[in-house]
Every structure is written in structure tokens, then in C-alpha cells.
Structure 1
């Protein structure tokens, strides 16, 4: 006997609902992976490998983030719902209401908080600079075209894919583990969620170290500066994920890049 694919009333069963949610969120995350691929291809950052086609090198470069995205979406989609963490996109493809009303309601606060975080991180970055915590740039000063062309990867990979990796995947899993350890009866409270937010934020900060290593040697000061500053942003994004939904965290992350992009353009124009 074949297993029934739909419920007796014709609605999708649990497996179909899970697959729909995974597919929708994975598709959102792939937008960021695609933006990363385009950036690598047109910016000259793609490493040259002897006797290997650039297309093969590009595909291999995107393999790791794509696999990690898949794992994060699979895990997060399983863990988020039992602990009350939400995604408007996932709910929509599962028969929920329109995304826009809730997204619009959260947008001013999320974007505004993200912009404030961006300016705060920039100010702290300047503060840390005299302490030797900011590596000297090993690449030529970027042009206005360089700065503007970084916008797609900032907003799509940073704002979408990184939030799926960190908040939807890792934070949901950590909250679920804490919830189960606490008995798994009522919805998790602050004592479970806040450790997950902070730990995820620290992982978010550590995840920026490989890119920093490309600018020069990693010192204790540069590591601490990079981890703590990025973790500060990660705490804000995690809070929005908890209190609102994944898309609010994405908007807050995007807001930070709005501030970064504005400041980068300002520096280039005034230089």
C-alpha cells in the first residue's frame, strides 16, 4: 500500500508542508548565493586555478554556501515552528496570509534599528582603529563603482542568505535544543532564547574572520574587534527574529548595510 500524500480532506500532509517551506526558503537564500557568484565573477576575486575552467572554480566556490544553506533551511524549518519562531514566507506557502501586511508593520522598526546599528558599528570601528584593531587595507582604495556594485551581495547574501544560515538555521536549532532540555512543554522563554541569540551572534562574528584574514594577519585585537562588532549586530537581528519573524531580522540586517553603503559612498566621494 502506498503512503497517502495528502490528508483525508485533500489538504497537504505534514511532509508536503515541510517540503513547501523548505523549497520556498531555499529559493530565497539562493538569491544571495547567486549575487555572491555574480560578484565573484565580475570583480576579479575569483581565484585562478591552473588547468581549471573559471566556471568550475565558480561552481566550487559556491558549493559550500549552497550546501550550508540547504542544511540550515532543513534544520530551521523543522526546529522553528515548535518553539514559536516564524517566517512569513514559510507560512505563506503553507496556506498562511499575505506576507506584506506583517512585513510592512515591522519594516520601519527593523530597518530603523538596522541603520542605527550600522552607524554605531562604524563609529566603534573608528574608535578601535587607533588601537591597531583595524587591519590596513591590502587592496587599492575602492571606487564609487566598486562600492555600488557591492550592493547586491550586501543586501541579498548578507540580508537574506546569512539570516537563513544563522537565525533560521542555527538560532532555531539552539532554541529548540534548549527548549527540549527544559522539558519541551511550554514555549521557550528568555532563559532559553537569549543564550541562543548571543551564541548565534558570536558565531556570526566568528564567521567574518576568514574574510578579514584576506586583508592581513589576524591579531588578537583584530579578532576581538571583528567578532564583537559583528556579534552586536547579530544580537539585534536575533531579537527581531524572536519578537517578530525571520523577515524582520532580514530587514534589520539590510538596514545595517544601508548605513554601511551610505558611509562607503560618502568616503569615496569626499576622498
Structure 2
């Protein structure tokens, strides 16, 4: 009988895992779709001779999609063991509705993200005299560019990047630290803070390729980019640890609310 119960539990566990993975992958695909739409609409896609634009677009989205698959699979495994949560994943597995829970944590996460956005903008101004900001990055964008950037900022940045970095990488690092510490009780600050900081640094480094398209990557530019993005990453990671993934997503989105607001203000004043 014990063997029969174990066999019954194993397929059930696989179904629960699959439901959580599917829900989070679908959430991340919203960001992938917004990235594809932005690339297609802005003409940023490369156009090799004889290549179909649709093929080029599909190939451009292949890497982030593959990374999303890995992050969701790894994160869903690791978070169940280290006590990190996603309201969407829990809901897909029969848990409580998401919105009522977000009402308790969402406003503070969003507000914290907005504060982070203004702080990062102020630090960016501080770095500017040091030559750390490429000249092309300081040009005032048009209102069309500001509006067009909103979907990819909120959907790819707020959703997909958080699935890749916090759900995937941070939870994996926490799981490794937890196992190294014995894997008995839930990981505490001695495990979680290194995972948060390391993930935040990877988050900052991950912004360097995009910046390389704006100009040469000098030492001040690299330090500025990694440091400023890592500050945001630490805040998002803390919200993920203390509450859930969706709080981290809202904090990340709040930072872009501040950035977009400042961009609109800059446009209005020019």
C-alpha cells in the first residue's frame, strides 16, 4: 500500500510542478512578445541580405525564450525547497486569488520601486561629469520613443527579467547556499543576502551589452551601469525574499514609472 501511495503522489507532484511552470512561462511570454513588438516597430532588428524579417525576429527572440524556459524550470524546483513564493504559481496550483494578496503588498513594493527610480536618476546625474554616461544616452528622447518604450519596460523588464533573475537565478543560488549549509531549515539571511547581491550584480552586468551599442564601454561606464542596476536588483531581490515574486515585479515596474515620468518631464521642459 505504501508503494501505491508513493506512486500516486509522484504523478500529482509532477502535475503541480507543470501547472506552476506553465503559468509562469505564460507570464514571461508577455515580456518576450513586447520585446518582439518593440524590435519590429522600432527597426532595431538587423537585416542581413536575403533573410526574412520574420526569421530574423524569431531568431532574436530565441535566446530570451530559451533562458525563460530554463529559469522557470529551475526556479520552480528551487523555490519550493527554499521557501520563496510566487502568487501566480500558487494560484495555478489551486491557491488563493492573486489580486487580494497584491493589495496588501503591492502599494509598498510599487512605491519602493518609484523611490529607487528617482534615486538611480539622481546617482546617474552624479556619474555624468565623470564621463560614465555615453553621450547618446543623455539625449532627450521624443515623446513617441518614451511611449513606445513603456510596454517593453513594464512587461519585459518587470515580468520577464524578474523571472529570469529573481525566480531563476536568485532561487538557484539560494538553493545552493541552503544545501551547502546543510539543507535542514529554511535559509536565513546568511544564505539569502549573498544570493540577492550576486543576482543583483548579474542583473547589472546583463545591461552592459545594450549599453555597448551606445558607445565604448569605458571603466567608469561599466562601474556606473553595474552599480546602479545592482542597487535596483538588491531592492527587487529583497521584496522577493520577504514577500513574493510579484512584489519584486511591482518594485521593478515602479522604477520604470519613475524613469518614464522623468523622461516625460525632460521632454516637456525642452
Give TM-score, length-normalised by structure 2. Answer: 0.95
Which residue in the other structure is 1:111 paired with?
A: 110
Instruction: Name the CA distance, whole Å, in 1 between partners of 2:7 and 2:117.
Output: 47
Taking structure 1 as reference, are residues 258 and 168 closer, same or farther at Cα in structure 2, changes over 3 Å only? same
In structure 1, the partner of 2:34 is: 35
The alignment covers a number of residue pairs equal to 266
Map 1:169-180 onto structure 2 (within 5 A): 169-180=168-179
Cα displacement string for residues 8-58 of structure 1 (whole angstroms, at most 9, x for unaligned residues):
59x970001111100000000000000000000001111111110011000
CA shift, 1:142, in A, is: 2.3
Residue-by-residue CA offset, 1:129-180 (whole Å, 9 max, x unaligned): 0000101107975210111111000000000000000000000000000000
Indicate if the aligned counterparts of 2:208 and 2:225 stay in contact, CA closer than 8 A.
yes
Deviation at 1:196, TM superposition (A): 0.2
Query: How far apart are the structure 1 equivalents of 2:41 and 2:139?
Result: 17
| Corresponding position: 1:122 with 2:113 | no
Contact 2:140 2:266 in 1 (8 A): no
CA RMSD of aligned residues (A): 1.7
C-alpha distance in structure 2 between counterparts of 1:49 and 1:112, whole Å:
44
Q: Secondary structure at the match of 1:80?
A: helix
In structure 1, the partner of 2:25 is 26
TM-score by length of 1: 0.95
1: CA distance, partners of 2:21 / 2:83: 17
Aligned partner of 1:269 in structure 2 is 268
Alpha-carbon spacing, 1:239–1:139, altered in 2? closer, same or farther (3 Å): closer
CA, structure 1 residues 138+178, in 2 after alignment: closer, same or farther (shift >3 Å)? closer
Q: Partner residue of 2:233?
A: 234
1:76-128 CA-to-partner distances (Å, cap 9, x unmatched) read: 00000110000000000111111111111101110000000000000000000
Moved over 2 A (4+): 6-9, 138-142
Residue 19 of structure 2 corresponds to residue 16 of structure 1: no
Equivalent residue, structure 1, for 2:131:
132
Task: Give ranges in structure 2 of 5+ residues lacking alignment.
Answer: none
Residue pairs, 1:184-223, within 5 angstroms: 184-223=183-222
Q: Which has the higher helix share?
A: 2
Farther-moved stretch of structure 1 (236-245 vs 137-146): 137-146
